[in-house]
Structure 1
């Protein structure tokens, strides 16, 4: 561990001299940063050992499974164990284990420089990513140049040199590699909080730059038209006019709105049929809205008047999976809905009591879908659409098909439960108790639904709460 005592001023120094203070501060920061880098390197080494442990477990416990399947299950089990301690997704942990093992095994010079704090974690990622495609015969040469280029340089500046060296030594051309990686083009979503998500796209660099440039041109055209309309000091009544003097959106906001408008309403001209089959497909969003949010008149105005304890009458709605969204969007979506399903919850605990539906099997599925709005394995947050309904006690061993013996698990953790030493028990009220292969216990409770709850389920007369309109 590095000595960080230099961060404390020597009693003989003059604390009023800024140069003296800054010198001591720089010395302390340098030592602290080096210590942090060494700890990051130690964590990578530990994750690499975890991967080796998974390999050993797979070798000792394989029975009937293929080597690849046994190794994958063992890695899942070890990753889940570590994830419970680190409070991370076990998918993320498993990926980091594999990456760390590859770094330690195939990039020894990079790992030594990392451990010595000559380069930091960002340098390591750059070298590892760029050198992943190189053959064993040239990787040592690449590491030597890449590490030397990274020492004493920022990761951003070093990246260009590292990638150029990797390209020079690569066994296949950029054109060939691009053809392969284009097979993995995709679109994904990422939660950001406050009712927002990010939409990501992986595609050809030329395509992505073209999309961004077109959105920028469109946004600039709108901004120019807005500015022109404002100069003319009137709002055109011409429906074909582009300018709006009251439009104060920034270029970033305009690009985002134009992109959303195009994706939600535009036609996929390069893929659609003459009859417009793809154009006819409309976006579908599953949302849960508390009834008081739909009927409240004071949305976004703070606490509702007349409610007990000054509690807010309207509560956020949720997308499937638990992502909160703003009240205005929820009401807009609700206004266009053609059908509703009512979920009854306990007024104090928020526990789900029933779901309105007629057929028993579907009723039970709806009930569990509402109760388990994410995978019920600790640290996992996949939404209901990705779940299997798992019998905690297998039906083959007498387990009943009822709420108290069922839980929603994503396919990854469904397999983990049945194929590894992870065990689960039902503790009532939807609470699951998981026991790991080394004996650690994790409690997973059903995520609370969106609901308005107060201390007293029966509000006193005159409280101002109107009865529900159904």
Structure 2
């Protein structure tokens, strides 16, 4: 057996001796981990250099091709270049560049320990986060104690010591910092697999604990009522239709907490903020979803299977027959604005409650958007582009249509037409980046955009396919149409 450092196990040792194999495995794993840690430190150094380069570019007046003197714009441009290589969002890369530069300049002892593999990336994050609020005069003292606490210890176990040292040296009290932190309270969404999303909330610790405790009390009350309902059903007593319990409800307390939270947020009135006229309570949730026609019209899957196997009777399988005729699965997931798939049951429920529909016609093979209702210059053009560009069209960006500007690839001031072939949806960040930095874009036809970075690299961004499924190999890319913007 050979470790990553080419150290050969003593041939005199029995190669199947478990103790010898384990010792070699531990040695090899330790060496590998140290190598990975050093490479991570090197990556941070590269990102720090990139941030320094962006600052230097911002100081150059036009010589670098960067228009304007904004350090943020220069940082955006460099981050976009790196993001295309790292296959990450340029927002994330820009944030990591800033953080890496701060690590190199403000936490040199931490960076040295990181480079020496005495601490790992999680330790570095812990030290940098805890020391962010400290003054320059005490940061070196903090680093010395923090690095010592992290060496040979897990980040979780070192966290308490590191935070205590930071609190002792902090120039401001926890009360003052809490008041400032409360200004940043927020709610966000994060995509998860299998048609799920996570809802996050940042608020005061007491408020979060209160919310969680109330949901827990409500969930337990439902469970107690369900248990009572089961006993009544076993005893043959007629259940009270207005009672809380349900003998068939077997949800766990976690599931109940989640359902009660969703029910309260979707239907409850914000009594602490509403007006006497109930203006906030009158606002209803709104969700934009794309649903394939076969999904909307398909018969119940279980029923269809039972009908074909002879265990059911009278089930309509027309939807299944239509799907087979076109060579696609009958039921395909719906899709939320932004591209996340949702299950067919939820898609049908939303479709059944919709008061209006917008038809999106797609190419049967490639899935390209062909038309949205009728093609009129204003409303329908926006609708078509909204459907085609269901995310920002800058490489690596995935912001949904609600956050987009309609950008003229060739500026209208230079004769660019307001038409599908000269428009693309860009988020505000990348709309500004396109106009204020050396990034350039041209249309290749069929909604395909070709971006050229300041370093001369090219990146192709194709319109994200809507909920459509091909039956054969897609057609080749459309021929190149040179429509480089003259700016």
Q: Residue 229 of structure 1 aligns with which residue?
A: 229
Alpha-carbon contact 1:6-1:24 (below 8 Å) kept: no
| Cα pair distance change 1:95/1:313, threshold 3 Å | same
Query: Hey, what does 2:215 align to over in structure 1?
Result: 215
Cα 1:67–1:297 shift into 2, 3 Å: closer
Tell me: CA distance 1:236–1:369, structure 2 relative to 1, closer, same or farther (3 Å). Answer: farther
1:324 equivalent in alignment to 2:341 = yes
Q: CA deviation at 1:10?
A: 3.5
Residue 255 of structure 1 aligns with which residue?
Answer: 257
- Report the equivalent of 1:374: 391
On the 8 A contact 2:219/2:257 being kept in 1, the answer is: yes
1:59 paired with 2:66, answer no
Q: CA deviation at 1:62?
A: 5.9
Structure 1, unmatched stretches of 5+, are 458-470
Partner residue in 1 for 2:481: none
Q: Which secondary structure does the structure 2 equivalent of 1:360 belong to?
A: coil
- 1:426 matched to 2:443? The reply is yes
TM-score, length-scaled by structure 2: 0.89
Aligned length: 453
Equivalent residue number for residue 9 of structure 1: 9
Could you tell me which residue of structure 2 aligns to residue 462 of structure 1?
A: none
- Measured in 1, the distance between the counterparts of 2:391 and 2:11 equals 57
Secondary structure at 1:61 match in 2: coil
In the other structure, the counterpart of 2:243 is 241
Deviation of 1:321 after TM superposition, in Å, equals 1.0
- d(CA) in 2 for partners of 1:180 and 1:325? 38
Shift of the 162–67 alpha-carbon distance from structure 1 to 2, 3 Å rule, reads farther
Q: What does residue 40 of structure 2 align with?
A: 40
Taking structure 1 as the reference length, the TM-score comes to 0.92
In structure 1, the residue matched to 2:378 is 361
Query: By how many angstroms is 1:314 displaced?
Result: 1.7
Q: How far, CA to CA, are the matches of 1:456 and 1:82 in structure 2?
A: 32
Distance in 2 between residues matched to 1:446 and 1:256, nearest whole Å: 35
Mapping of residues 118-197 of structure 1, within 5 Å: 118-197=118-197
Q: CA deviation at 1:167?
A: 0.5
- Residue 375 to residue 274, structure 1, CA distance change in 2 (3 Å): same
Question: What is the alpha-carbon distance in structure 2 between the residues aligned to residue 53 and residue 242 of structure 1?
Answer: 64
Residue 272 of structure 2 corresponds to which residue in structure 1?
270
2:84 and 2:378 map into 1 onto residues whose CA distance is: 34
Which whole-Å CA distance do the structure 1 matches of 2:132 and 2:238 have between them? 58
- Counterpart in the other structure of 1:115: 115
Contact 1:317 1:324 in 2 (8 A): yes
Distance 2:186 2:135 in 1: 28
Separation (CA, whole Å) in 2 of partners of 1:35 and 1:78: 28
Cα distance between partner residues in 1 of 2:86 and 2:387:
28
Residue 291 of structure 2: which of 268, 277, 289 is its match?
A: 289
Matches within 5 A, 1:340-419: 340-357=357-374, 359-419=376-436
